[in-house]
């Protein structure tokens, strides 16, 4: 099973996770820029975080045989903080970098007017830079948030095929299925979706335009939930080809629209199994 995790926050995971992921078949991933828990109080901390997403983290992933890409954005949770707003002026510089394959996570947290503005602005940035967009749907009031997100996407003029609406569930998937947007699902140990419910969604909606991720962050989460979903699909009678489509070819097709995917396996994986798992060399620096 070859796996491309289209949404996973490796910044909050350890090298043990990279090892386990490689051993289970994960060869590529996308790490979206997100909220770090502790509110940020200046633009400088975003710049350092973004530099980590295009420098240190791909370097670390490569040591373990995994190709790392990222998405960049001012996340919805911090969109309302005036101290963070200047991040919008910082973004264009990062959206030109290798390894940045979409704008995201954008979308709603509490659906405030500030969030509206920041969301629309960032979809415009995606259009300007020829990048797809990753839209996070809110945890509260999910159906209303999904509907409103789809309105904003429609108004942006971005082709729906360049947009993924993420963190969907049985209630919200139906709102997105007919729009032409991609449908993203985060599989968690005890919240959001689990792998068996995901299999039921795949039975009902098919495998087209569906992305499955583990989202793994520092909360209770599991970076192997993509693998578990693949196993649950096989157990339920889906073919190896179906699994490959959902867990590899779909994310490659979606993020490939950026023209920036790099899917050559880095040498790190073999080194790892030759007994050398120590971080070597120096990370890419970013000007």
- Number of residues lying near Zn ion (CB under 5 A): 1
By beta carbon distance, the residue nearest Zn ion is 34
- Measure the CA dihedral 106/228/265/20, to 10°: 100
DSSP label of 71: E
| Strand order across the 210-213 sheet | 3-5, 26-32, 67-72, 100-107, 133-136, 163-166, 182-186, 210-213
Closest approach of Zn ion to the CB of residue 54, in Å:
17
Q: Pick the closer one to Zn ion by CB: 6 or 99.
A: 6
- Classify residue 71 by burial, with Cβ atoms within 10 Å: 0-12, 13-18, 19+: buried
Q: Of all helices (H) and strands (E), which one includes residue 148?
A: helix 142-156
Q: Pick the closer one to Zn ion by CB: 34 or 248.
A: 34
Closest approach of Zn ion to the CB of residue 166, in Å:
7
Stretch 34-63 residues interacting with Zn ion (CB under 5 A): 34
Q: Pick the closer one to Zn ion by CB: 34 or 185.
A: 34
Closest approach of Zn ion to the CB of residue 182, in Å:
15
Q: Which residues pair with 28 in a beta bridge?
A: 4, 67
Closest approach of Zn ion to the CB of residue 215, in Å:
5
Q: Pick the closer one to Zn ion by CB: 166 or 195.
A: 166
Helix (H, G, I), strand (E, B) or coil at 47: helix
Alpha-carbon span 27 to 258, nearest angstrom: 19
Stretch 20-39 residues interacting with Zn ion (CB under 5 A): 34
Stretch 189-218 residues interacting with Zn ion (CB under 5 A): none
Q: Pick the closer one to Zn ion by CB: 63 or 146.
A: 146
Closest approach of Zn ion to the CB of residue 164, in Å:
12
Binding site for Zn ion (CB under 5 A): 34
């Amino acid at each position: 099973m070859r796996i491309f995790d289209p949404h996973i926050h490796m910044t909050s995971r350890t090298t043990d996770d990279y090892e386990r992921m490689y051993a289970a078949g994960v060869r590529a991933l996308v790490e979206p820029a997100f909220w770090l828990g502790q509110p940020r109080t200046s633009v400088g901390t975003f710049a350092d975080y973004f530099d980590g997403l295009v420098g240190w983290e791909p370097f670390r992933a490569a040591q373990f045989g995994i190709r790392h890409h990222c998405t960049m954005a001012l996340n919805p949770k911090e969109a309302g903080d005036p101290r963070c707003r200047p991040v919008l002026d910082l973004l264009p510089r990062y959206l030109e970098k290798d390894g940045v394959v979409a704008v995201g996570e954008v979308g709603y947290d509490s659906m405030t007017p500030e969030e509206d503005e920041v969301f629309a602005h960032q979809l415009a940035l995606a259009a300007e830079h020829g990048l797809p967009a990753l839209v996070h749907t809110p945890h509260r009031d999910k159906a209303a948030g999904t509907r409103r997100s789809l309105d904003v996407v429609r108004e942006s003029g971005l082709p729906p095929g360049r947009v993924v609406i993420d963190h969907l569930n049985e209630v919200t998937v139906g709102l997105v299925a007919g729009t032409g947007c991609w449908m993203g699902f985060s599989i968690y140990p005890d919240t959001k979706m689990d792998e068996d419910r995901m299999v039921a969604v795949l039975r009902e909606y098919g495998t087209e335009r569906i992305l499955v991720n583990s989202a793994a962050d520092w909360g209770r989460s599991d970076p192997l939930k993509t693998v578990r979903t693949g196993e649950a699909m096989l157990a339920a009678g889906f073919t190896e080809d179906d699994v490959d489509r959902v867990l590899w070819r779909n994310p490659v097709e979606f993020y490939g629209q950026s023209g920036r995917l790099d899917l050559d396996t880095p040498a790190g994986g073999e080194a790892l199994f030759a007994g050398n798992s120590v971080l070597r060399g120096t990370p890419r620096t970013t000007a």
